[in-house]
Amino acid sequence: MKVLFVTLLLYLPLSGWCLDAGLPLSADWAKRVSQGIERNRKSDCVIAVVDESGRAVPGATVTLRQKTHDFLFGCAFPSWNIKRQQPNPRDWAQFERYYLKLFNYATTENMLKWQNLEPEEGQTRYGMADSFLDWAEKHRIAVKGHTLVWGYAKWGYPEWLAQYPPEEITRKTRQHILDVVGRYKGRIAAWDVVNEPLHCHWFEEKIGPDYMTKALQWAHEVDPNALLLVNEYGNQWDSGAQKFAALCQSAIRQGAPINGLGEQAHDPPHVPSPEQIFEMFDHLASAGRDIHITEMMLPSDAKPVNSTFVKGTWTPEFQGQYYRYYYTLAFSYPNVKAITLWAMWDGASWLPQGGIIAKDWTPKPAYRELDRLINHEWMTNASGQTDRRGRFSVRGFHGRYSVTVTHGNTKVHDTLHISASGKNALTVRLR
């Protein structure tokens, strides 16, 4: 009966606002989230249809089909050699099929971490990343490199680096950033330049308190067009977001070219309330930069949910409800520009059962929920006729569209980009 009650509650009209947010929201929160999505993720657009002489054509049929999202829906990509179709051809085919259905954005999980890239000094291993980027470009997947500077022993920086004095560590770190960012200039769109600066202080101790500013400036020096992020965990609790925003604001005042703050969103597997989530977003946004959800991964291992907001266990069903909940709230917040999972498949997840697809390639409820949101509920497909002025108006989610205009025996195809800052207008001439 408890399950039935929760399911019904999700679909009850809430003071005129009917929002399936995965977990129950009050009427006020349902209204705020719904309005946020409408205001921040959609824009009005006008398509004008004219004849060869430029005169308006009323009664023409206009059909729009959304093809891509401007919003970045991402997932980390495992350290696999794509040329060998790892872990095996069958699994690779499944992975590729499911990945491409949901995601337009990829983060290099481990392949570009300094320790993995250069485990022995001077012996860099770029082959895996090169092959991955070829694949990403083929499928029009934007890529974020992870990570350039991470002061975490064993995983964050190579052991050989620690043998040098501070001056040499500074020089080698700068050269590392220039080499890696320079190699992928124009191919990697964004970088987690500094990872976990509030928790990992090795580079701070070696290079100095301004190491974060320096690292960002070095990355910007070699690729001025790349989006540069600082990535951190613990923002949801114990004033973490305030501390992180303050750190980034201080670096910005020092001249650090920070484009976004990364919130990992997986620590610990706790369910925050809407108030807690939006309070965190507000604190992060106070730095005056974008917010990226960077490493989201929650379990499906049937352990108890730790929360004062909702009770339950981390079953696959609850994992799906939670992902719908968090994605919906984050998608409504204006500063959030990307949401990235840290594992799609259980067979490539460091957290047991942390993926949204089981090891036998059965999609979990979380995969199905994200498919509903990304490919259906947050997509605009519209059709109608031009008015007496030859215009067809539509409000659509930000992204790229195919446009077909039909009038009598004439059919014309075109494309359109509805964006947050564009003019969002198209004139189609019938010939």
Please give the structure tokens belonging to residue 81.
């050699």
**Shared domain check, 95 and 203:** yes
| DSSP code, position 160 | G
Where residue 166 sits, what CATH number does that domain have? 3.20.20.80
Domain end, chosen from 377, 392, 411, is at 377
CA nearest neighbour of 289 among 332, 264, 260: 260
**Shared domain check, 134 and 41:** no
**Shared domain check, 109 and 82:** yes
Please give the structure tokens belonging to residue 185.
């200039």
**Shared domain check, 385 and 303:** no
pLDDT under 70: residue ranges of the chain: 1-17
**Shared domain check, 344 and 302:** yes
Within 48-157, residue ranges assigned H as helices are 89-102, 114-117, 127-138
CA nearest neighbour of 323 among 301, 339, 302, 304: 339
**Shared domain check, 34 and 19:** yes
Q: How far apart are the first and last CA of the chain?
A: 62
**Shared domain check, 261 and 193:** yes
CA nearest neighbour of 335 among 430, 424, 248: 248
| Tens of pLDDT, residues 37-73 | 999 999 999 999 999 999 999 999 999 999 999 999 9
Identify whether the C-beta of residue 179 lies closer than 8 Å to the C-beta of residue 121: no
Kind plus residue range of the DSSP H or E element containing 50: strand 42-50
**Shared domain check, 50 and 186:** no
Query: What's the longest Cα–Cα distance across the chain?
Result: 77
The parent domain of residue 106 ranges over 72-377
Block residue for tokens 């872990």: 87
**Shared domain check, 122 and 54:** no
**Shared domain check, 12 and 125:** no
Domains held by the chain: number: 2
Whole-angstrom CA distances from 232 to 106, 316, 320, 383 are 18, 27, 24, 44
pTM: 0.94
Three-state SS at 258: coil
State the pLDDT at residue 16.
44
Where residue 402 sits, what CATH number does that domain have? 2.60.40.10
**Shared domain check, 356 and 218:** yes
Domain end, chosen from 377, 397, 418, is at 377
State the pLDDT at residue 17.
54
State the pLDDT at residue 83.
83
Report the relative pairing of strands 381-385 and 61-66 from DSSP bridges.
antiparallel
State the pLDDT at residue 81.
86
